[in-house]
Structure 1
Amino acid sequence: MPSFKITLAYDGTDYVGWQLQANGVSIQGLLEDALRALDERDVRVTGAGRTDAGVHALGQVASFTIQRA
């Protein structure tokens, strides 16, 4: 299974932060939803760090593995 590293930037104003949370929309959740189009199964994204609610990022590093490339 191929693994990928991505570096992303985002405006966190309208989000509950990086990490998945039940009480709102997270950056990790949005990314996992988008990556679901590449794989039939759920894709788990692992961030090298995390941001709190309303905090922006300019170089957040994350990785994920998918079944097919």
Structure 2
Amino acid sequence: MPRREPPLTVKEAALALNQSEKAIRYLCRAGAFPNAYKKGSGGVSAAYRIPVADLDRYEKTQARAHAA
């Protein structure tokens, strides 16, 4: 069985994508990371967690968009 990587925090995703944390939170709300979820109660101040697979998928779509 393949090893699952733990989901990333907003800060970790921002570093990985060279984006601001604000931009990552916006992308989460906009649905760019379909499997992202809020940790804890899910309230306004709850922290997002973003699966690595979602980050990889987003990077690939961005690379294709800039190549066109």
TM range (shorter): under 0.3
Normalized per residue, the structure richer in strand is 1
**Length-normalised TM-score, structure 2:** 0.28
Relative contact order (alpha carbons < 8 A, sep ≥ 6): 1 or 2 greater?
A: 1
Normalized per residue, the structure richer in helix is 2
**Length-normalised TM-score, structure 1:** 0.28
